[in-house]
Structure 1
Amino acid sequence: MLRSFPHLRQDAAASLVVFLVALPLCLGVAVASGVPAELGLITGIVGGLVTGLMRGSSLQVSGPAAGLTVIVLEAVRAFGLPALGVIVLAAGVLQIGMGLLRWGRWFRAISLSVVEGMLAGIGLVIVAGQIYAATGLTAPHSGVDKLIALPGALVEALSSRTALVSLAVGAGTVLVIVGWKRMPRRARAVPGALVAVLLATLAAALLGLPVETVRVGGVLEAVHLPGADALASLADPALLGTVLAFALIASAESLFSAAAVDRLHPGPRTDYDKELLAQGAGNTLCGLLGALPLTAVIVRSSANVEAGARTKASRVLHGVWLLLFVALLPAVLAYIPLAALAGILVHAGWKLIPFGGVRRLWGHNRGEALVLVTTAAAIVAVGMFEGVLIGVVLSVAKAAWDASHLRIEHSDAGGDTIRVRVRGTVTFLKLPQILDSLEALPDSRRVVLDLSGIDHLDHACRAALASWAERHSGAEVTVARSDAPPGHRSVLAAEQGRKPL
């Protein structure tokens, strides 16, 4: 047995760690998404047993993700729980189609600032929404209202013993998760989120705390195959927009996660098209079962790598442990306080906000930082899909601006020489600006035209600069190009004008 599976021992040990990380997250994501907790477990099982078996990324782990809670919650509110399965099913089929068309690699072209802005916006909404959940209060629908009404909700919680106890359980959960990282390495083999949930559950049970716990039904009873009415709802353009949002956001998050996981281990690299097929197959099955959408999850994936996983057997086994837990110990879930799961999601949402990334971007690329912040703000203000579209449009506009941005610098090189340095992309759109600047130079001075800082020089500009060099009455025009050999400069005698730019 061990000869057939030489890494089974390492993979089995890693799978237990991933299972312990995934269990509270599956429950927390489901509750935060406004669906029965069992649906989160079903998605986790599918992510392990189905997506985990397929080719793509060998060590990446899939399941319900905190990054999709906002859009799932909006979809359930807008179309109802029965429509969720159809939306996830259609999104999975769309992902399979994109994988077959080999579009997986193109997701890497999405600006990282847009993706980080998307995650930051999601994180803000999750943190605000789960603070309401921790206090037992009903959260407003919109992201802006959640943030605006938060101070009042906290004041209200402080005046109610029940809400205060619930908030304390949630805050204690966050503190345990954060503090667990300072424990000895052997202790940290048990995930902090699981320890926090266990402690919260024990405290609620032993002290008789007045906190609401997870409502648990049968897992099989939670499965709802899409009916004819639900399938007919695919004709609704608004629902189709949600399908597109599910597919694009889940795919982008999965493939960016794959790129991050590849940097954590020396094993086989991800095949992005096959990974997209695997994600699509998992979501198709989740849709048929009426469960939550799945995506690759960096928290579980990094835990898998750090625990010593060597092959995809670890992620498959984690699905097996989830299935056994659902089959043998479902009653245990009914003792878990909802405030503890809210605390887990507050911590997860906070980690989605790249505070350090924004500071670094602001230091060297403020345009990208503004794209990130604007995308996050748009998601909070108007919604997930619209916010991402705004971010993509801004990113494209910034790229167009960068491509057309041109700087012309004049400096006196001493004697009768003027040095003109051109930087950026030189196209016919900028030709009037360049010629106006050059033609304003005195004819009696020698001009050194330095093009070493340009990214692109199109044919129209090349011809126009050659023509200007021929007309210039100075003794000589020197043109330095970035693609010229070291120490070489193409020299144009103004009276000859025969050497090409």
Structure 2
Amino acid sequence: MNNMNFSPFKNLKHDLPASIVVFLVALPLCLGIALASGAPLFSGIIAGIVGGIVVAALSGSPLGVSGPAAGLAVIVLTAIQDLGFEPFLLAVVIGGLIQLILGFLRAGIIGYYFPTAVIKGMLSGIGIIIILKQIPHAFGYDADPEGDMNFIQPDGHNTFSELSYMLDGITPGALIVCAISLAILILWEQKFIRNHKILSMVQGPLLVVLAGIGLSFWFDSLPPLAISGDHMVSIPVAQSVGDFFNQFSMPDWGSFANPQIYVVAFTIAIVASLETLLCVEATDKLDPYKRVTPTNRELKAQGVGNIISGLIGGIPITQVIVRSSANIQSGGRTKASAFLHGVLMLVFVMAIPNVLNKIPLASLAAILFLVGYKLAKPVMFKEMYRKGWSQFIPYMVTIIGIVFTDLLIGITMGMVVAIFQILWKNYQVPYTFESDEMKSGGPVRIQLAENVSFLNKAGILNSLNSIPDNKHVIIDGSRTKDIHPDIIEIIEDFKANALTRNITVESIDVAGVKMENPVGEFERVVKEVSGNNAMDTISKN
């Protein structure tokens, strides 16, 4: 497909239905994250609207969807408790300014350094978490808010213990709604539906929501199956236009002198930027057209979004993989789908909040089950296993870390494993060295590789120390182009020590080799971690 075909107007028939699904998925998440953050519920709606309209308009991401993120909930909760809500909004504004500066400083380059195995582990881990977190909502047990993604939950339980507590709080009506919703979604995934000229025009998730609203009205007349408001979407209802706009808040400008404001702002900026860059990388991998998002532009868009969100009473924004993947799975093709989802949220929250408040959370749980399954399909585990342990281990570590801690810690665990593998690889192969030569009467030859970095120190030092006394050693750097100063120092130290051990050392082209520069070494390590095309991608952005 050529670039001209990615015009939002030409793809509206794909983007509009996708935007409806994203809106339905995002609405309860915005409310749930605001609740988990200790912020007013409407602040989550504001963040969702700004993330859809403002960030989508400025972003270069074709399929990414932004809004309030679960990964910031604990930070926001603590900040609001320590500062108060209005001073916290000032920290959001300043955090947005910091993100904007990071974008101009081209800090978005960091997004290209995450290994593919870790990114795929993030997608699968989030898919598993979505499924586990939605099971209680499917049974009508809604003690924890939508959007909570951490292992330890706000009520002190964890993801798995919540599955046992839910058995004491089953709501029959909600369970029926979820079962019917899942049946509709599975039916709508069948080929005969997707190939049908008329039925394929209707999104399965939209049918699910309409069915859920209809069933909730019907169950009101059947007391055993009635679904109370605690198990529904819960949007604050304004009695007038003026009342609606009264729900917006302004920052406390008098808090500029409070140093804690800047600590919170910096924390928000760094965590929100990392989450966004991770989601950008993951979204680009899910994009069926494999487009590449300009990460520096994304940081700028997120910064402007957070500035505006903080100015009008919203909580912080990041790009969110749950909404982005729902957008992709629903057939979205351009950023018009993300923009329209923000418009829909604004219009519907203003015009028909009472209707939206009749949507059972069990219906939305069914939709998220499908999103989660498509992110964590068993075929992905098989694919990563076939690629070997170097890919499978960081993939699995990332998944386990996300499921049992949270998103950022899980990603960090996967990155540590991936970096350790690179260190181990460099420890093993910075040179060629035949240990059998030490047993013969001939010289011991160490052939240095083309690039020898500081990461090779341990391997070279270990090999040099293993050479017995009374040997002739040849250190050959004739093929070497770049060598780190630390390696030169190790070789010079070995030469000095060799005099005490009756070892003669002959070095070939080692002293004359070009000393490695830090930037060149950094780029080389990046290529090993992220793939050989990483720097090419970076240079284009």
Normalized against structure 2, the TM-score is what? 0.67
1:136 corresponds to: 141
2:85 corresponds to: 82
Question: Quick one: structure 1 residues 16 and 384, their matched pair in 2 at CA, closer, same or farther if it must change by over 3 Å?
Answer: closer
2:299 corresponds to: 276
Q: Deviations over 1:402-451 (max 9, x none)?
A: 32234956689xxx9999998986844323443466769999xxx9x999
2:319 corresponds to: 295
Does residue 344 (structure 1) correspond to residue 370 (structure 2)? The answer is: no
Q: Which sections of structure 2, spanning at least 5 residues, go unmatched? A: 239-243, 505-541
> How far apart are 1:337 and its partner, in Å?
0.9
Q: Structure 2 matches for 1:170-319, cutoff 5 A?
A: 170-182=178-190, 183-185=193-195, 186=197, 187-208=199-220, 209-211=225-227, 212-216=231-235, 217-218=237-238, 219-227=244-252, 235=260, 239=264, 242-244=267-269, 246-257=271-282, 259-260=284-285, 264=289, 270-292=293-315, 293-295=317-319, 297=321, 298-299=324-325, 301-302=327-328, 306=331, 309=334, 315-319=338-342
Confirm or deny: 8 A CA contact 1:125 1:146 kept in the other structure. no
Letter in 2 for 1:271: P
Secondary structure, aligned partner of 1:60: coil
Confirm or deny: 8 A CA contact 2:92 2:265 kept in the other structure. no
> How far apart are 1:76 and its partner, in Å?
3.3
1:396 corresponds to: 419
Q: Deviations over 1:459-499 (max 9, x none)?
A: 5788999999xx999xxxxxxxxxxxxxxxxxxxxxxxxxx
Count residues with an aligned counterpart: 457
CA distance in structure 1 between the partners assigned to 2:462 and 2:60 by the alignment: 50
> How far apart are 1:300 and its partner, in Å?
5.2
After the TM superposition, which of the residue ranges 374-383 and 76-85 deviates more from structure 2?
76-85
Secondary structure, aligned partner of 1:143: coil
CA distance in structure 2 between the partners assigned to 1:6 and 1:107 by the alignment: 24
Q: Deviations over 1:335-378 (max 9, x none)?
A: 11122223333443454447544444344443553334334444
Provide the alpha-carbon RMSD of the alignment.
Answer: 4.8
Secondary structure, aligned partner of 2:293: coil
2:23 corresponds to: 23
Q: Deviations over 1:381-401 (max 9, x none)?
A: 444544444444444344333
Confirm or deny: 8 A CA contact 1:34 1:73 kept in the other structure. no
Letter in 2 for 1:324: V
After the TM superposition, which of the residue ranges 117-126 and 322-331 deviates more from structure 2?
117-126
1:152 corresponds to: 164
2:73 corresponds to: 72
Letter in 2 for 1:173: S
CA distance in structure 2 between the partners assigned to 1:350 and 1:241 by the alignment: 35
CA distance in structure 2 between the partners assigned to 1:6 and 1:108 by the alignment: 24
Quote the sequence identity (%).
Answer: 21
Confirm or deny: 8 A CA contact 1:139 1:146 kept in the other structure. no
CA distance in structure 2 between the partners assigned to 1:271 and 1:430 by the alignment: 38
Question: Quick one: structure 1 residues 272 and 423, their matched pair in 2 at CA, closer, same or farther if it must change by over 3 Å?
Answer: same
Question: Quick one: structure 1 residues 472 and 359, their matched pair in 2 at CA, closer, same or farther if it must change by over 3 Å?
Answer: farther
CA distance in structure 2 between the partners assigned to 1:436 and 1:230 by the alignment: 61
1:14 corresponds to: 14
> How far apart are 1:82 and its partner, in Å?
2.9
Q: Which sections of structure 1, spanning at least 5 residues, go unmatched? A: 474-501
CA distance in structure 1 between the partners assigned to 2:201 and 2:122 by the alignment: 31
2:175 corresponds to: 167
Confirm or deny: 8 A CA contact 1:27 1:37 kept in the other structure. no
Question: Quick one: structure 1 residues 234 and 364, their matched pair in 2 at CA, closer, same or farther if it must change by over 3 Å?
Answer: farther
Q: Deviations over 1:62-101 (max 9, x none)?
A: 2337xx3254267337735937745643443232121010
Letter in 1 for 2:29: V
1:60 corresponds to: 63
After the TM superposition, which of the residue ranges 69-78 and 193-202 deviates more from structure 2?
69-78
